[in-house]
Structure 1
Amino acid sequence: MGQPIADHPDRLLPADPGVREIARSLFKKVEGLPIISPHGHVDAAVIEQNTPFPDPAALLVTPDHYVTRLIHAGGVPMDQLGLGSKPADSRQVWRHFCEAWPNFEGTASGYWIRQEFAHVFGISGEPSADNADRLYDALQAKLSEPGFRPRELFKEFNIEVLATTDDPLDSLDSHAALHDDPSFAARVLPTFRPDQYLNMAHPAWQDNVERLIGAAGDGASGYAGYIKALEARRRHFVERGAVSADHGVFTPTTLKLDDGEAERLFERGRTGQASAADRDAFEAHMIYQMARMSVEDGLVMTIHPGSFRNHHTPTFEAFGADTGHDIPVAVNYTEAVRPLLQDFGTAKDFHLVLFTLDETVFSRELAPLAGFYPSVYLGAPWWFLDAPDAMLRFRSAVTETAGFSRSSGFIDDTRAFCSIPARHDTARRIEASFLARLVAEHRVTEERAHELIVDIIDASPRRVFKL
């Protein structure tokens, strides 16, 4: 039968024997480096409380929209995958996953899950309808072992830095507890994520704004109080170790308004009178304001645009957000971020990391922007592009214009804790493969390639995210 593909030492490396040999050497250089994860969605409380993971389905299926969307595409209703308020039988959810396993062939999700089975849980064999219950029992037995608690896995995964994603009004108590715990040596850093406080279209925006202003406790009100409250919460995050502020937006449009116009839009939003154009203008202005605040407080600014959220309204109404039906849209960056870059693009120590789900802007817009503005860095392939071939396309598209120094390093951007080492291993193999081709084509010396891969994997995320 040959070696299981999850264990093959040359997985993802080039097929050409000579280039593969170069890639092997490059990968070996970075294989054992610690994981730096400056953007992700694991809950800090999971690490702090160190409670056991409940069961295989709750860990690997239900919370992972990469997984549930493909099972659903095969005809399984969402309520049978543990989503929504209706209780689901975890074992039955797992059976659905195993029956759908052939649908994951060739996908990034399928690759990561194979790696998790082999290298995290030590389980071989492919999921199937026939072995679903046996596999569930084997995984459940593993999850009950002390070595499979979150903190123990954190150490085993060799994670040095893990950033979370947090509401501006979060107390960040779990982060403080981890920071003060002498038995926990790694860094778990909060990330300021204010989308629901900037976007008037969010159904909770009005309530969020009132809570935000009230939490400031300084008596300020209106738009000025709102701005002061955001600045105060950012300072709270910085004090708790935050290094970045993240913004998930439909478009990366930025707009500089005078205080009077911003105040008028703000009041229209608070009283429920804002039009769609008002809401868009106010959010664009607030992204500009977030950049201004980053220049002042030092938080790295990251922008994740280009997703049509909750594309299927009936699914959203029944099961909520982040349930697999967010679909990418085209993005325009060059014009959209110009107002921001006019004022802050060359500001000292301002770091702006731009992501995209639209591959067409890699070489046309993002690489040229990063190749001129000292503040701009290229965010790693994200979400649907967080896959081996897409990573290679990204490298090919941006490197000839922007080089290697203008990229952020790998970003795993995941809630799926046990997939983190597989994702970083994938990125390291892809970078080794790309550099090996340049060496084989005599475009980069092998000695320089060994320096570059360490910089890409380790130094870049530290440098870009001020670690």
Structure 2
Amino acid sequence: MQKSLFLTTSAAKRLYETAKTLPIADYHCHLSPKELFENRPFESLASLWLSGDHYKWRLMRVCGIDESLITGPQSFDERCNAYLSCVTQSPGNPLYTWTAMELSFLIGKPVTLTKENAMELYHEANEALKKRCPTPRSLVLAANVKSLATTDDPTDSLCYHEALRADSTFPVSVTPTFRTDRLINIAAADYPVYIQTLSEVSGVEVSSFDTFKQAVRVRLDRFCSLGCTLADVGVPYFPHGTCTDKQADRIFRDALDGKDVSASLPAFLTACYRFLNEEYTKRNMTSQMHLCVTRNANDVLFSSLGADCGGDCMGDTIPVSDLTAFFNESNNRGTLPRTIVYTLNPAMYEPLLCAAGSFRNVSLGAAWWFNDHKAGIEQQLSLFARTGSLKSSFGMLTDSRSFLSYVRHDFFRRILCGWMGRLIESGEFLDEDTAKEIIRAVCYENSASLLKGAIPA
């Protein structure tokens, strides 16, 4: 891409000189600790691009590409050709910019991606890939990543995290994140089986809400022993109403008996989130909440390919009264941990920002998923700045399974510098030195603070 991408003013270009060399503290991604530990070279750009990237899969389906060329048996070259035929005709979609940035990163120079030269650039990048033989670790280091937090289920063994922690040859701190989606979704058909796994890995026979809590504490201690400072949840539900531990115990036992507890799930979550917030606060962890999402909306797609295949979408908004009641209960108890809330539905930006501003420990997270394009990021920056202080933002995260996705941090930094540059050029903010301080905080320092204790000296 052009060196001046999104940098439309002289001030923006000056600010970008500060932003472009900053390291990355990636506090939310879906990279594989197993791949990082094994560190096997990537065979081709195609495997990097299309193995598990549901962003690309969704675009290809929108463009009418047959599923055999998306997730099916066709060769990677054929599938990449199909992908490039879509992305080069999708101006305004962030995938167009990200794809060009990834090609530029591999080739080692800015490129202009067009329908005519797409496959030529693809083959050039593949040749560069073969010469460099990049591995997961080399790509992370090339992106100037200092620390990253993966996404891990409470029942995961964490053996690869343990191995990475003991490996002094890799200077990047890799820590787990305590992701509770399966842990709290008592309405899932396989929940009793999941709880049996929790019993096995924790050494606690889970048969009640009390023993459930004991097992969770054991797993949290295990996660924290490996540097975990973050928790996360991304279920399509939100706590509603009151629920005592006694009521939660009855609901939990019903779930273990295989009964339909879907109607009781919002109430159970009230007790469950209350407990989790207490534990996170004790351990000085940060809680992340991904809200307003509908998972697996397409039954046919889900039944054939499973979760994370591109069938998720924006969910309904959440009543502000439910949000404030949730935060207020923990705050009254003194057990509201530092909390970052993300919304897939941008209609929730202002309600979340206003609710967050009422509680010291709560902040709006990055523009998430379908909102992490230029317009979405600028909207989020503007609203964040109008309702609070931009310097307190945690900036960009990767939220990806691809080791090439770190170019998205440069994408964000360019947008941020372009946005702030326009404020300077218009006379709305004239302190350029302070603007650079803000950029350092938003692009690295604040996110690094989330991984405190996990960042190598």
Hey, what does 1:3 align to over in structure 2? none
SS in 1 for 2:174: strand
In 1, Cα distance between the equivalents of 2:392 and 2:192? Answer: 38
Deviation of residue 448 (structure 1)? 1.7
Hey, what does 2:428 align to over in structure 1? 443
Q: In structure 2, which of residues 333, 337, 341 is the aligned counterpart of residue 350 of structure 1?
A: 337
Equivalent residue letter for 2:131: E
1:99 to 2:85 alignment: yes
Q: In structure 1, which of residues 274, 286, 295 is the aligned counterpart of residue 260 of structure 2?
A: 274
Deviation of residue 170 (structure 1)? 1.4
1:235 to 2:221 alignment: yes
Q: Is the 8 A contact 1:166 1:190 kept in 2?
A: yes
In 2, Cα distance between the equivalents of 1:251 and 1:152? Answer: 38
Hey, what does 2:56 align to over in structure 1? 67
Pair 1:415–1:62, CA change in 2 (3 A): same
In 2, Cα distance between the equivalents of 1:187 and 1:91? Answer: 34
Hey, what does 1:45 align to over in structure 2? 34
Deviation of residue 258 (structure 1)? 1.2
The CA deviation string for residues 318-338 of structure 1, in whole angstroms up to 9 with x for no partner, is 111111121102322622233
SS in 1 for 2:322: coil
Equivalent residue letter for 2:343: T
SS in 2 for 1:161: strand
Pair 1:406–1:285, CA change in 2 (3 A): farther
In 2, Cα distance between the equivalents of 1:94 and 1:155? Answer: 26
TM-score, length-scaled by structure 2: 0.92
Where structure 2 has 5 or more consecutive residues not aligned to the other structure, the ranges are none
Pair 1:111–1:273, CA change in 2 (3 A): same
Pair 1:102–1:458, CA change in 2 (3 A): closer
Deviation of residue 394 (structure 1)? 0.6
Matches within 5 A, 1:355-370: 355-363=342-350, 365-370=351-356
Q: Is the 8 A contact 1:200 1:279 kept in 2?
A: yes
Deviation of residue 344 (structure 1)? 2.6
In 2, Cα distance between the equivalents of 1:255 and 1:176? Answer: 40
Pair 1:244–1:333, CA change in 2 (3 A): farther
Deviation of residue 349 (structure 1)? 8.0
Deviation of residue 215 (structure 1)? 2.5
SS in 2 for 1:246: strand
1:395 to 2:381 alignment: yes
Q: % of aligned pairs identical?
A: 26
Q: Is the 8 A contact 2:277 2:335 kept in 1?
A: no
Hey, what does 1:25 align to over in structure 2? 14
Query: Does 1 or 2 have the higher relative contact order (CA < 8 Å, sep 6+)?
Result: 2
1:425 to 2:434 alignment: no
In 1, Cα distance between the equivalents of 2:231 and 2:241? Answer: 18
Q: Is the 8 A contact 1:301 1:351 kept in 2?
A: yes
Deviation of residue 314 (structure 1)? 0.8
Hey, what does 1:386 align to over in structure 2? 372
The CA deviation string for residues 158-203 of structure 1, in whole angstroms up to 9 with x for no partner, is 1101111011121212122222112111111111112112102323
Deviation of residue 464 (structure 1)? 4.4
Matches within 5 A, 1:60-459: 60-83=49-72, 87-122=73-108, 124=111, 126=113, 128=115, 132=119, 137-219=123-205, 221-253=207-239, 256-332=242-318, 334-345=320-331, 347=334, 350-363=337-350, 365-420=351-406, 422-444=407-429, 445-459=431-445
Q: Is the 8 A contact 1:82 1:90 kept in 2?
A: no
In 2, Cα distance between the equivalents of 1:247 and 1:43? Answer: 18
TM-score, length-scaled by structure 1: 0.90
Between Structure 1 and Structure 2, how many residues are aligned? Answer: 450
Deviation of residue 452 (structure 1)? 1.3
Deviation of residue 101 (structure 1)? 3.0
Where structure 1 has 5 or more consecutive residues not aligned to the other structure, the ranges are 1-5, 15-19
Deviation of residue 121 (structure 1)? 3.3
Deviation of residue 257 (structure 1)? 1.9
Equivalent residue letter for 1:411: L
Hey, what does 2:6 align to over in structure 1? 12
